[in-house]
Amino acid sequence: MDAAEFRKRGKEMVDYVADYLEKIEKRQVFPDVEPGYLRPLVADSAPQDPESFEDVFKDIEKIIMPGVTHWHSPYFFAYFPSASSFPALLADMLCGGIGCVGFSWAASPACTELETVMLDWLGKMVNLPKEFLAEKDGQGGGVIQGSASEATLIALLAARTKIIRQVQSEKPELTEAEIMGTLVAYASDQFCATLGTTSCCSFDKLLELGPLCNKENIWMHIDAAYAGSAFICPEFRHLLNGVEFADSFNFNPHKWLLVNFDCSAMWVKKRSDLIGAFKLEPLYLQHHHQESGLVTDYRHWQIPLGRRFRSLKLWFVLRMYGVRGLQEHIRKHIRLSHQFEHLVLQDERFEICAEVVLGLVCFRLKGSNELNEALLKSINDAKKIHLVPCHLREKFVLRFAVCSRTVESTHIKFAWQHISQLATDLLKTWEHNHHQQ
Ligand SMILES: *Cc1c(COP(=O)(O)O)cnc(C)c1O
């Protein structure tokens, strides 16, 4: 493919994606395929001779789409949202076009510098304490990780290195291995300090945990993967109070801030803690600006060496939506989750299982876990909407997460009517079977 054909095909591909997203609600949200469906549809090995774009293109609808779960369908209410917007898609295209690998400042200065500034922008949007910002001469700063899980692992490794060095400076006779054997990580059954847990979007009390961690010299990492985006709205910012006690903080713009996967934002108060843990300087990665101390080499802030130009997505989205546009998106989702909550509350057969704070509603039929498992199965078998469950204490609970950028009140009403009808059908046969037993 040469540049002339790329121009033509690129336009066709943009049209295809625009059509796909514009008409996504006509597609069944969850696919009909069984495991192993794809292998018989493709060749056993890669073609020896090149195929045409048309050959590949026509297989998208034939082979790929039948096996796609449509995460951006307004009937998708599973997991948590996966962000998507047109500005982010365009930025990803540019990222692919530039195709740099920004592991050091010199490897592509714009890639590093835009990321530092975008993380400052984002940090200010959620009103992070100044210590977390890089600005011109700060000690802190932000970095884009691939996922919240990576950010948590990095915080853990940095905390470990930091405390080992501290202990070694006091007791030089101890080896690293000896110290390591005495370290303790404290966590609940949801892991670290969390704002918006995955199962039911509950919030740890940072104002209790934070001072304790500071007093005991414990590194506090806060995971706000989903909920973090909501803190751009002043009315939800109080949920982040106590972040001033933390050493590191993370949330995923790729969940709820219209920046396509992957873009997980992580901040630290002392970037020297991260760099200290991961620094590696083989000769081929050194460059002459290093001595100045002004440059950031993001490879020291992460597990991999290579990294994409992901800050472009943030730049496009933050500029083209503006803070106000993003606040509207968050507020709309939260309004819709409360709409669903009210519909559930009006039906005496159902109960709400956790306070609805943001865009997630946990609910169930009053009754046994088996009954609720059967309800979820009938919902997901019908494939008109898609939900996933969770366990809250011993209870099997259905999670209704407002996800799609284009979801509206009518989709919420439809989803509820559908669930309510399936519950009616289920309860008929369920009671019948119960009487027979
Ligand atoms: C979604 C989620 C994660 C996992 O996010 P990844 O970026 O996929 O690793 C971690 N913690 C919480 C609270 C989440 O909601």
In whole angstroms, how large is the CA radius of gyration of the chain?
Answer: 25
When divided into structural domains, the chain yields a total of 3
| Rounded distance from Cα 344 to ligand 1 centre (Å) | 27
Band the pLDDT of 250: cuts 50, 70, 90. very high
Cα 153 to Cα 193: distance, rounded to the nearest angstrom: 13
Residue ranges making up the domain that contains 271: 100-309
Q: Is the pLDDT of residue 275 over 90?
A: no
263 shares its domain with 397: no
pLDDT at 29: 98
Whether 111 and 222 map to the same domain: the answer is yes
Give the pLDDT confidence of 151-206 residue by residue, as tens digits: 999 999 999 999 999 999 999 999 999 999 999 999 988 899 999 999 999 999 99
Judged against a pLDDT cut of 90, whether residue 287 lies above it is answered with: no
Is residue 132 within 8 Å of 322, Cβ to Cβ?
no
Rounded distance, CA 263 to CA 243, Å? 21
Helix (H, G, I), strand (E, B) or coil at 217: coil
Mutate to test the pocket of ligand 1, among 199, 221, 223 (most ligand atoms within 8 A of CB): 223
Q: Between 297 and 30, whose confidence is greater?
A: 30
Three-state DSSP at 356 gives coil
pLDDT band at 93 (very low <50, low <70, confident <90, very high): very high
Average pLDDT over residues 280-301: 72
pLDDT-derived band at 56 (thresholds 50, 70, 90) equals very high
**Cα distances (angstroms) measured from residue 327 to each of 116, 120, 357, 398:** 23, 18, 16, 27
Residue 434 has pLDDT above 90, yes or no: no
Kindly tell me if the per-residue pLDDT of 433 is higher than 90: no
What length does the chain have?
437
Judgement on whether residues 286 and 346 belong to the same structural domain of the protein = no
Is position 83 within any domain? no
- The answer to whether the CB of 219 is under 6 A from ligand 1 is no
Query: What is residue 294's predicted lDDT score, i.e. its pLDDT?
Result: 63
Of 136-150, 273-287, 340-354, the one with minimum mean pLDDT is 273-287
Question: Does a structural domain hold residue 256?
Answer: yes
Please state, in angstroms and rounded to a whole number, the distance separating the CA atoms of residues 141 and 266.
8
Dist. CA 349–CA 378, nearest whole Å? 17
pLDDT confidence tier of residue 252, bands split at 50, 70 and 90: very high
CB 360 within 8 A of CB 337: yes
CATH number of the domain where residue 356 is located: 3.90.1150.10
DSSP state of 259: P
Per-residue pLDDT, 436: 55
Q: Is the CB of 251 under 6 A from ligand 1?
A: no
User: Is 87 inside any structural domain?
Assistant: no
Distance 179 CA to ligand 1 centre (A): 30
| Residues linked to residue 400 through DSSP beta bridges, in sequence order | 361
Q: Does 106 lie in the same domain as 66?
A: no
Task: Tell whether 27 is covered by a domain.
Answer: yes
Give the pLDDT band of residue 295 (cuts 50, 70, 90).
confident
Section 365-389 average pLDDT = 97
Q: What is the pTM of this model?
A: 0.94
